[in-house]
Structure 1
Amino acid sequence: MTDTETTHLLHRLNYRMVTETDDRVVMEMDNRPDLTNVRGALQGGLLATLIDIAAGILSGRQVGAEQDVTTADLNIHYLAPVIDGPARAEATVVRAGKRLIVTAVDLTDVGRNRLAARATLSFAVLDRRS
């Protein structure tokens, strides 16, 4: 790993890939005291980032080599806190069009086997800059 990889915020948060295919991306992060709110639950913004990264990686797998994706819309319904962890985000494709990709992400508290959030995200498909 390079110095940038070991000091980058995402590395320090310990987001990690569990499964990555063309149809599904599963990522996790642990619940640690330095990442929780006053009630001991993982911060919602960190969960939103995990959701966005998992869906973004999956969406990127749907486009050609000369294209990129960028988040156009993110809607999250928080259903329960992530207390035990790890938090697991499972992203699937709802529809992959030529200019827009829609994904769904279920986020669970693995330790409690409980659905913690459900999200839908749209990604704009862009031609890669030269």
Structure 2
Amino acid sequence: MPETTLPAVRQNRLRGLAPADADTRGRRMLAGLADGTVPDPPAAYTLALPPATSWLPGLITCETELDAALTLTPGVVFGGWIACLVDHFAGLVMLSALPDESGFLTARLSVDYHAPLIPGPVRVDTELTSCSTRLAVAEVRFVQDGRRACTGTVEQIIHRRGVRDA
């Protein structure tokens, strides 16, 4: 990861984040998932959720291949699975950004399908677009063949972790 800080314009919209150089549980988890030293959570395996291929605090990228086994309509990836990926990548971007004393839960998720996603290569770019101490918004963009095929928006409720969450 060549950069460790976000542009000043973005930092002004983001509050309650861990410092860019902080060694947080979420960032250690992302690094471990990327290098294979942390096992995938059971749901990631069951739902065939791809990991991030690169990340910075507040930014996640995944370059992956959409499998033909994920289609219902022939040649088109199932939209429900795409919505699952939106939630997944929004969660990963939260792990990249929040301090250890904060947790999060999805409050709202919306997906706009601009063009059918088809089996084959896709890039998923996720950005934390706003964050306060209580609410964060992530945008998840799917780009295939040079065009944006899908955009998801996820609102996350941020909460302070209690003793039982540790």
Global fold match (TM > 0.5): yes
User: Is contact 2:65-2:120 (8 Å) kept?
Assistant: yes
C-alpha separation between the residues in 2 aligned to 1:96 and 1:64?
12
C-alpha separation between the residues in 2 aligned to 1:72 and 1:35?
26
TM-superposition CA deviations, 1:73-111 (whole Å, max 9, x none): 1111011111142232211121110000111111122xx
After TM superposition, where is structure 1 displaced by more than 3 Å over at least 4 residues in a row? Answer: none
C-alpha separation between the residues in 2 aligned to 1:72 and 1:14?
20
User: Is contact 1:60-1:69 (8 Å) kept?
Assistant: no
Q: CA-atom RMSD, angstroms? A: 2.3
Correspondence 1:10 to 2:48: no
Q: Could you tell me the TM-score, scaled by structure 1's length?
A: 0.82
Secondary structure of 2:104's partner?
A: strand
Q: How many residues align?
A: 126
1:31 corresponds to which of 66, 87, 101: 66
User: Is contact 1:29-1:86 (8 Å) kept?
Assistant: yes
**Paired letter, 1:40:** G
User: Which residue is 1:78 aligned to?
Assistant: 113
1:115 corresponds to which of 136, 139, 148: 148
2:159 corresponds to which of 100, 120, 126: 126
C-alpha separation between the residues in 2 aligned to 1:95 and 1:61?
14
C-alpha separation between the residues in 2 aligned to 1:19 and 1:115?
19
Cα displacement (A) at 1:17: 1.6
Q: Could you tell me the TM-score, scaled by structure 2's length?
A: 0.66
C-alpha separation between the residues in 1 aligned to 2:45 and 2:64?
10
Identity among equivalent positions (%) equals 24
Cα displacement (A) at 1:15: 0.9
Correspondence 1:60 to 2:60: no
**Paired letter, 1:33:** A
**Paired letter, 1:119:** G
User: Is contact 2:113-2:149 (8 Å) kept?
Assistant: yes
**Paired letter, 1:92:** E
Higher strand share: 1
User: Is contact 1:102-1:123 (8 Å) kept?
Assistant: yes
